[in-house]
Structures are given as structure tokens and as C-alpha cells.
Amino acid sequence: MADQKKKQQKQETPNNEQVAEETADMTQNETEQTLEEAADTSTEESADADVAKAQEEESEDKTSSEENAKESKFFGKKKDKEKEKLKEQADELNDRLMRQMAEFENYRKRTEKEKQAMFETGAKSVIEKLLPTVDNFERGLAAIPEEEAGSKFVEGMQMIYKQLMAELEKLEVKPIEAIGKEFDPNLHNAVMHIDDENFGENIVAQELQKGYTYRDSVVRHSMVQVAN
């Protein structure tokens, strides 16, 4: 009996050790499973956090893009308005400049014309005052007796007369043609009328006083006698 009990105790002892080992293995397996589940949970939570962060960043980027688009649109409209305003100002300044240039050109032409008219008026006045001197030269030379025509005095008077007429010609002062020409009231002043078969109708028969023109204007009309 005693041997059987010992033998039975020996058989029971290994069973307890086996149970303990099995229990330890189960505990380790459960621990590992728990750790794996915890790791999986942590991984899932980390993944969820990453997804949430990515979504948040995407939302922030979208919001930022929308804000940037609004700002760009706002500043774009502002720039367009500024460009239109600058263009209007440039057009206005250009228009004013063109008007002022046109006004200045008109002023320049007007003053040039006025200056030329004043010069011609002054020149005509001086020439008109010289004409009686020319008339006296011609009358004096015409009254010289033939026997004195070759004297030094007469030659000197003729030279002075020619020089005076040459200077007047340089100033574009010219005598008006009268004798044998058709009467022109713009050039001739008729003071006498005769009937003469040697002349045609309304023809200048005699010049009583020589007339002159300065450029295209009459300084003094020719005083004439008109035939028929």
C-alpha cells in the first residue's frame, strides 16, 4: 500500500508541473494576444489619427486655397480698376496735350501772320514816303536840257536814281504797267477820259503818275487817262 501511494504521488507530481507549464503558456499566449490587440488598437488609432490629421490638413489647404482665390480675385479686380483709372488719366492728359499743341500751333501761325502783316504795313508806309522822291528824280531828269545831258552833274543824278530803283526792286517794289494796258480799277486810278481812235476801248492812254506794288499789294495806284 505504501508503495502504491508513493507511486501515485510520483504520478500526480508531474501532472501539477504540467498544469503549471500549461497555465504559464496560456498566460503568455493571452499576454501576447493582449499585446497584439493593444498594438493593433494603437496602430488603428494611429492610422485614424493620421487620417484625421490628413483630412484636417486637406481642409485647411482647401480653406487656404479658397481664401487665396478670394484674395486673388479681390486684388485682381482692384488692379483692373487701377489700370482703368490710369488709362483714363493717361487719355485725359494726352487729350489735353494734343489740344495745347494745336492751340500753340494756331497761336504760332497767327502771330507769324500778324508779324508779317505788321512788317508789310511798315514797309509799305516807308516805300510810300520814298515814292515822291522817286517822282522828283524822274521829273528833274526829264527836265534836263539836251545840251546838259552829258554833264557830270546829270550823270551823277542818273547814277543815284538807278541805284535807288535797284534797291527798291530788291525789296520787291515794282512799277505798275499802265500805258497801252486795259484799265484795271485794282491797279489804276482814272482821273481823265478821252476819245482817241488810236486806242481801243477802256485802254490807258496816258500815265499821269506812276503807281507801284510791294510784293502782291498796291502801294500807290497809277494815276491814268483812259481812252474811249
Quick one: pLDDT band at residue 41, thresholds 50, 70, 90?
Answer: low
pLDDT tens per residue across span 196-226: 888 888 999 999 999 999 988 999 999 999 9
Whether residue 96 is predicted with pLDDT greater than 80 in this model: the reply is: yes
Structural domain count of the chain: 2
* 223 membership: H or E segment, kind and range: strand 222-227
Q: Contact at 8 Å (CB) between 171 and 213?
A: no
**Within this chain, do residues 94 and 145 fall inside the same structural domain, yes or no?**
yes
Question: Which residue range forms the structural domain that includes residue 99?
Answer: 81-171
Query: Pairing relation of β-strands 188-194 and 222-227?
Result: parallel
Cell digits of residue 20: 503549471
First to last CA, the chain: 200
In a shared domain, residues 165 and 178: no
What pTM does this model have?
0.55
Which of residues 151 and 7 earns the better pLDDT score? 151
List % helix, strand, coil for the chain (3-state, nearest 5): 70, 15, 15
127/149 same-domain check: yes
pLDDT of the residue at 228: 78
Considering the domain architecture, whether residues 126 and 163 belong to the same structural domain is answered as: yes
Amino acid at 189: N
Residues 139 and 214 in one domain: no
